[in-house]
Amino acid sequence: MLRISFALVTGAQFIESGMHKKVLVIGSDKMTSITDYKDRNSCILFGDAGACVLLEPSENPKYGIMDSILHCDGRGGKYLYMLGGGSLNPSSYETVDKGMHYIYQDGQVVFKEAVKGMADVSVEIMKKNNLKADDISYLVPHQANMRI
């Protein structure tokens, strides 16, 4: 979903700059094609999804993206990855036979990083906008489940 976040912010900037009057941001994931259904630790977490949003200008200052903070951190690559595909291990009969085109994750590490990252960026955006937790009515993060 990180791609969607970047696309949403970029689309909003196109509107704010006046470059475009309307921007359609569309995103989708087809995780079932790279999910190993023999791996019960991860197969229950990944599914297919799609969504879109139409962005357009508004005269009401309460509408829109008020602020954003985007992070991209590859340090956890060894905890969430796929061995096959790309330039490192191009697709071949051998990589497919070895099951290298399935997603792998170390769930406990990914869980801990997701929780910490969500808390850290929440504090960061509140500080940036001089807000306290009591000022927030609700928070709608993208995470795999309610526990996170």
pLDDT tens by residue, 73-97? 889 999 999 999 999 999 999 999 9
pLDDT in tens, 109-124: 988 988 898 889 999 9
- Segments of the chain with pLDDT less than 70: 1-3, 142-148
User: Could you give the 3-state DSSP secondary structure of residue 125?
Assistant: helix
What residues form DSSP beta bridges with 74?
none
Delimit the domains of the chain by residue range.
1-68, 71-135
Q: Which CATH number does 1-68 carry?
A: 3.40.47.10
Q: CA-CA distances (angstroms) from residue 69 to 121, 127, 138?
A: 7, 12, 18
User: Could you give the 3-state DSSP secondary structure of residue 14?
Assistant: helix
Of all residues in the chain, what percent carry a pLDDT higher than 70? 93
